[in-house]
């Protein structure tokens, strides 16, 4: 038997409902052979709100686990030894706080910080560009990241304080060259900030560079993905060597984890997602010299809703079959010396370097958010247009659409998705109320005062992690930590990136423009669409594409970005006198938020039609329509032209 290379860390991205329920899920997954944890937090936790905050209504426990205080962290890791676990936390704006809770728990359990291994995602640039769970502006956010890195290099040396995420850039439409360039630009900005902060000695900078990790995406074009990872590896090595003077090759290694592409998962014929996931995994495992150090796979049914434990097990078994049954790990890099691969890598390197040079010339990634966001919206628009025109094939969507009934999604015996009990939210509200009542509130107030002082301080001796850990130990909450920082830093609204259309969309859009023009001539105003994203859901790619397509179809479009309250949406609809309010929600909070918008519109005397887009199960769709929603669109409704047709039908019928 040939000697085999060590397999990558195997994870599933998971968390739901409550810390206790998520702990049971994690322990079950570990028992099935999972070798690391990847924690998904709910949106209130990610955006700095406690479960009883009005902004959290309808969102608690929906897309991840709620963690409001140290008690929840204890529940989350009960019977899971922290010093034996490699823990990845998908957390960004509140990363310092969640890491502080984790470190407070480790200290409470007597675990030496030197033994802790894991990652906090902590890449705020991609939050501005794609994922939307930012709170603070670029400069204060960069300061928080630098403080975490400085604290980690001195006290938690095996931890990766940041995981630069190109994953979400690809989800937002990035080309391979953009994905490489924007991620590397972010890493450069962060390293420069640490170097210039005065909080890390110059002699330790190579160690800092060595703790930078990445989190990438892998699409179904797996040959191109292999080339992308080889390009990433070579370009990062060069940056580390020339820009930061790192001589040790082990510290220049491009260390990355991956989740394969979720953007390409389809609601139609969802069984096809299994082979997509397998092929995408090959893109980050085939090349031994550029192989992922950790892999997590989505579930086949994520386009339908929240996967069940069985679905996550299936994804884990895919990894295990490749790692332990195939001969993949028995050979060195199978692409070494390949002229074809070398040519693809060369072409990609030239394109990515040109894009990177442009970003750096604009002052770096943190300084170029507006421009980068607009480029991603344009790239995504071009991708959507290729699918809609048939230029880019998606099996089961725009080609080979005939299908037999699926036993995976049909019948009453097997529910296709997992649901979250609505009672969970009220249980968490009661929990956090009880927590605040029973703690030492004087100690919390003292800790909060020190936190505010350090956050406002420019002294290099002050690091936000110190009072953050103290607040966690005193019994502070997620909302209190974030509120203290909001008091000092304020809040930020990122650009929408919606500045222009695709340009040419074909004959169908010519007809749409003609219909819009006819409406303008008939009544004196163009059709008007308000694209609205209520709640804490920051995934705005779909909303942005609707806004761009509507402009190309002749609509006047009002799009004010993410995280609007129902009251703000109603005010905009009234003030702009819109014909249609299009509500986009991907967090599963549609039943809580859409009725509030409808009630508000009625109370304000606004007679605009309401349509909804998101992952909406059939039962929920029927309930929403009963409350007055005119149309509902889910991921299967990929044709933007057809959606625009529907909207014009609604407007013409009432004009």
For the record, the structure tokens of 606 come out as 């606004």
Average pLDDT, the chain: 94
CA distances from 433 to 69, 112, 274 (A): 11, 32, 43
CA distances from 185 to 353, 493, 538 (A): 10, 21, 23
The answer, yes or no, to whether residue 430 has pLDDT greater than 80, is yes
What residues act catalytically?
13, 167-168, 533, 537, 539
Average the pLDDT over 427-434 and give the result. 97
pLDDT computed for residue 504 by the predictor: 60
The answer, yes or no, to whether residue 149 has pLDDT greater than 80, is yes
CA angle 471, 476, 477 (to 5 degrees): 130
pLDDT computed for residue 502 by the predictor: 57
Average the pLDDT over 577-596 and give the result. 94
pLDDT computed for residue 587 by the predictor: 86
The answer, yes or no, to whether residue 166 has pLDDT greater than 70, is yes
Distance CA 185, CA 70 (A): 35
- The confidence band for 510, taking pLDDT boundaries of 50, 70 and 90, is very high
Q: Is 11 helix (H, G, I), strand (E, B) or coil?
A: strand
pLDDT computed for residue 411 by the predictor: 55
Distance CA 509, CA 507 (A): 5
- The confidence band for 3, taking pLDDT boundaries of 50, 70 and 90, is confident
Beta bridge partners of 259: 296
Q: Say if residues 41 and 65 touch (Cβ distance below 8 Å).
A: yes
pLDDT computed for residue 50 by the predictor: 98
pLDDT computed for residue 1 by the predictor: 57
Distance CA 402, CA 304 (A): 19
Q: Which residue has the tokens 């899971």?
A: 80
Helix (H) or strand (E) holding 296: strand 294-296
Q: Is 564 helix (H, G, I), strand (E, B) or coil?
A: strand
Mapping DSSP onto H, E and C, the string for 75-105 reads: HHCCCCCHHHCEEEEECCCCHHHHHHHHHHH
Neighbouring CB atoms inside 10 A of 327's CB total: 8
Give me the domains of the chain, ranges plus CATH numbers: 8-120+421-495 (no CATH), 162-300+307-323+336-367 (3.20.20.240), 507-654 (3.40.50.280)
For 564, phi and psi rounded to 5 degrees?
-90, 145
Q: Which of 296-300, 328-332, 576-580 has the lowest mean pLDDT?
A: 296-300
pLDDT computed for residue 420 by the predictor: 76
Closest CA to 51 of 69, 38, 39: 69
The answer, yes or no, to whether residue 415 has pLDDT greater than 60, is no
Q: Which of 18-27, 185-194, 256-265 has the lowest mean pLDDT?
A: 256-265
pLDDT tens track for 337-353: 999 999 999 999 999 99
Average the pLDDT over 404-411 and give the result. 78
Q: Say if residues 376 and 170 touch (Cβ distance below 8 Å).
A: no
What letters, b where the CB count within 10 A reaches 16 and e where it falls short, cover 234-248? Answer: ebbeebbbeebebee
Q: Which positions ≥6 away from 103 have C-beta within 8 Å?
A: 113, 116, 156, 465, 469, 472
Concatenating the DSSP letter of every residue in 128-176 gives IIII----S-HHHHHHHHHHHHHHHHHH-TTEES-EEE-HHHHHTT--H
DSSP 417: S
Average the pLDDT over 173-182 and give the result. 96
pLDDT tens track for 479-503: 999 999 999 999 999 998 887 555 5
Can you say how many angstroms the Cα of residue 282 is from the centroid of all Cα atoms in its chain?
22
The answer, yes or no, to whether residue 580 has pLDDT greater than 60, is yes
Beta bridge partners of 558: 530
Share of the chain above pLDDT 70, in %: 98
Q: Which of 77-86, 537-546, 639-648 has the lowest mean pLDDT?
A: 537-546
The answer, yes or no, to whether residue 307 has pLDDT greater than 90, is no
pLDDT computed for residue 413 by the predictor: 39
For the record, the structure tokens of 419 come out as 């649901």
The interaxial angle of helices 272-282 and 222-242, nearest 10 deg, is 40
Beta bridge partners of 610: 581
Average the pLDDT over 642-649 and give the result. 96
- The confidence band for 417, taking pLDDT boundaries of 50, 70 and 90, is low
Can you say how many angstroms the Cα of residue 526 is from the centroid of all Cα atoms in its chain?
35
pLDDT computed for residue 588 by the predictor: 85
Ranges of beta strands (E only) in 522-567 are 528-532, 556-559
Q: Where are the alpha helices (DSSP H) in 362-440?
A: 369-389, 423-438
For the record, the structure tokens of 566 come out as 């129902």
Q: Which of 180-184, 243-247, 594-598, 633-637 has the lowest mean pLDDT?
A: 633-637
């Amino acid at each position: 038997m040939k000697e085999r290379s060590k397999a990558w860390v195997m994870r599933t991205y998971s968390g739901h409902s409550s810390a206790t329920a998520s702990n049971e899920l994690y322990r079950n997954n570990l028992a099935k052979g999972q070798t690391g944890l990847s924690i998904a937090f709910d949106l209130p936790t990610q955006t700095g709100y406690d479960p009883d905050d009005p902004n959290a209504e309808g969102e608690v426990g929906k897309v991840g686990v709620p963690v409001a205080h140290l008690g929840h962290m204890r529940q989350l890791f009960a019977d899971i030894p922290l010093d034996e676990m490699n823990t990845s936390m998908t957390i960004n704006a509140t990363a310092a706080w969640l890491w502080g809770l984790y470190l407070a728990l480790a200290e409470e359990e007597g675990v030496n910080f030197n033994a802790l291994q894991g990652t906090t995602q902590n890449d705020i640039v991609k939050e501005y560009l794609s994922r939307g769970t930012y709170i603070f502006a670029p400069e204060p956010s960069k300061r928080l990241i630098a403080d975490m890195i400085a604290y980690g290099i001195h006290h938690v040396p095996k931890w990766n304080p940041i995981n630069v995420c190109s994953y979400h850039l690809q989800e937002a439409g990035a080309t391979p060259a953009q994905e490489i360039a924007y991620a590397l630009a972010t890493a450069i900005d962060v390293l420069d900030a640490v170097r210039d902060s005065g909080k890390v000695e110059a002699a330790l900078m190579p160690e800092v560079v060595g703790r930078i990790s990445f989190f990438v995406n892998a699409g179904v074009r797996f040959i191109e993905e292999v080339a992308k990872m080889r390009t990433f590896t070579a370009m990062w090595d060069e940056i580390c060597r020339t820009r930061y003077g790192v001589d040790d090759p082990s510290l220049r290694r491009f260390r990355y984890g991956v989740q394969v592409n979720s953007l390409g998962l389809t609601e139609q014929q969802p069984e096809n997602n299994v082979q997509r996931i397998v092929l995408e995994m090959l893109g980050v495992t085939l090349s031994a010299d550029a192989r992922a150090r950790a892999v997590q796979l989505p579930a086949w049914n994520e386009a339908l809703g929240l996967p069940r434990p069985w679905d996550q097990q299936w994804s884990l078994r895919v990894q295990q079959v490749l790692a332990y049954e195939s001969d993949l790990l028995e050979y060195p890099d199978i692409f070494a010396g390949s002229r074809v691969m070398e040519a693809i890598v060369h072409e990609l390197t030239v394109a990515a370097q040109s894009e990177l040079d442009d970003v750096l010339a604009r002052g770096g990634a943190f300084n170029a958010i507006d421009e980068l966001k607009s480029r991603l919206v344009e790239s995504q628009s071009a991708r959507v247009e290729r699918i809609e025109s048939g230029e880019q094939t998606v099996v089961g969507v725009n080609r080979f659409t005939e299908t037999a009934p699926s036993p995976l999604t049909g019948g009453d015996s097997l529910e296709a998705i997992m649901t979250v009990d609505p009672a969970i939210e009220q249980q968490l509200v009661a929990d956090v109320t009880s927590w605040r009542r029973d703690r030492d509130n004087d100690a919390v107030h003292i800790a909060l005062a020190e936190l505010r002082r350090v956050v406002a301080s420019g002294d290099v001796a002050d690091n936000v992690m110190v009072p953050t850990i103290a607040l966690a130990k005193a019994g502070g909450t997620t909302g209190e930590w974030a509120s203290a920082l909001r008091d000092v830093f304020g809040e930020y609204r990122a650009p929408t990136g919606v500045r222009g259309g695709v340009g040419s969309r074909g004959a169908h859009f010519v007809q749409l423009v003609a219909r819009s023009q006819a409406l303008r001539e008939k009544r004196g105003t163009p059709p008007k669409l308000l694209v609205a994203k209520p709640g804490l859901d920051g995934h705005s790619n779909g909303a942005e594409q609707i806004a761009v397509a509507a402009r190309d179809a002749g609509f006047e479009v009002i799009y004010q970005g993410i995280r609007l309250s129902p009251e703000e949406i109603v005010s905009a609809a009234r003030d702009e006198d819109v014909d249609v309010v299009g509500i986009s929600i991907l967090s599963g909070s549609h039943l809580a938020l859409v009725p509030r918008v409808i009630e508000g519109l009625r109370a304000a005397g606004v007679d605009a039609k309401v349509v909804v887009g998101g992952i909406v199960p059939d039962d929920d769709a029927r309930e929403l329509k009963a409350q007055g929603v005119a149309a509902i669109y889910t991921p299967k409704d990929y044709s933007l032209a057809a959606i625009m047709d529907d909207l014009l039908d609604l407007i013409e019928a009432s004009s």
